[in-house]
A = this chain, B = another copy of it.
Amino acid sequence: MVYNFSAGPGMLPASVLEEVQSQLLSYEGSGVSIVEMSHRSSTFMEVVHDLEHRLRRLMHIPDTYAVLFLQGGATLQFSMVPMNLRNSGRFAYLDSGTWSKKAMQDAKPFGDVVVVGSSASTNYKTLPDWSQPIHDVDYLHLTLNNTIEGTRYTTLPETNVPLVADVSSNILAEPIDVERFGLLYAGAQKNIGPAGLTVVIVRRDLLQEQDVPSYLSYARHVDTLLNTPATFSLYVAERVLAWVEAEGGVSEMERRNREKSERLYDALDSSTRFRPLVTEPSCRSLTNIPFTTGDDVTDEAFRQFAQTRGLIELGGHRSVGGLRASLYNAMPLAGVNRLIETMQAFEQGGHDVSH
């Protein structure tokens, strides 16, 4: 058994992959693979319908919100958000790390970016404060869970401007109160399914005609497939959502993710060799846990040691180094237990390669 701690594309439920494999050559006895089917065929349109409705049920998304299935990852949303929500051309951002900074950068061609809070001073080990009231902007953007830094918001700013959030790494991993937001977006490749799908959930009254090209206009994607999506990704995502529903829904996912992350954090907090990067418990992500031995060489030695024991992708993001365990919905508790045992074996085994 291999446990895959990749931050994304990440682990998928084994039962889903087995079903996809069994159906790959002939979908439901049709003699044709789902990946060979027209996205306008009745069979595939049913997949899209089921995907949308499962997501609406799981996240309690009301009809006043549209659900869009796009491509280009969260990165393309960094520019589609300001392109489509622009009115005054002033946009507020909370700066909580790498991905929120990228989002800001891509908004700049479309207006003035106002940073209303930043945790740069703690090297993003905490979350930004927002002391001043936020108004006179088209929206306030935040990264609800910071995949690289391992932090997540548990309280939201009180403001009457629409909240926009990147929820790529915590969608379906914990409940999100959709109605607190104007727009949510997420790359699929962490908790939804394979890469190639980006989910956008947007309050319909925020949609407006803008002079933007067809693909880049939210309005053109509402309640229709504008063009050919990554059909395999949508198909597998629908199966993953069926699995989440069968397992008990988002609240059950949260219970499991809380148990997994608390167990790992307890081990890190009590370890003599490893320490977590996020020390403030109220800021800790349920899904992305960065840690270190404090030493690059020893971190790399542990990564290799763990890999020989079937625990893979424990390296930190290339921009920060260190170690990181991503505990998405498909990661079983057994994987976390095995990681903790492996940390203890490394601690006790005299794997001291520090200089």
Contact = CB atoms under 8 A, between A and B. Distances in A.
Interface of A: 1-2, 4, 6-12, 14, 17-18, 20-21, 24-25, 30-33, 35-41, 71-76, 78-79, 102, 105-106, 109, 187, 189, 194-196, 211-216, 226-233, 236, 310, 312-313, 318
Contacts of A189: 228, 231
B35 A12 contact: yes
8 smallest CB-CB distances across A and B, nearest first, come from A196-B230, A79-B213, A2-B31, A71-B71, A106-B213, A196-B196, A35-B194, A75-B227
B40 A236 contact: no
21 contacts: A2-B32, A4-B37, A6-B38, A8-B38, A9-B37, A12-B33, A12-B36, A17-B24, A24-B24, A35-B236, A38-B313, A71-B196, A106-B213, A106-B214, A106-B215, A189-B228, A194-B230, A194-B232, A195-B232, A196-B230, A196-B232
Contact of A21 (B9, B14, B24, B196): B24
A33 to B, nearest CB: 6
A349 to B, nearest CB: 23
B36 A10 contact: yes
B38 A9 contact: yes
A318 B35 contact: no
B215 A75 contact: yes
A52 to B, nearest CB: 18
Given A21-B25, A72-B215, A76-B216, 9 more contacts: A2-B30, A9-B37, A12-B36, A17-B33, A20-B24, A41-B313, A105-B214, A106-B213, A189-B228
Nearest to A22: B21
A155 B105 CA distance: 44
B76 A36 contact: no
Nearest to A109: B211
A232 B74 CA distance: 18
Nearest to A11: B36
A227 B212 CA distance: 23
Contacts of A213: 78-79, 106, 109
Contact of A79 (B7, B10, B215): B215
A39 to B, nearest CB: 6
Centre residue among A74, A196, A216, A312 by max chain B CB count within 10 A: A196
A76 B37 contact: no
A229 B25 contact: no
A226 B79 CA distance: 15
A167 B31 CA distance: 29
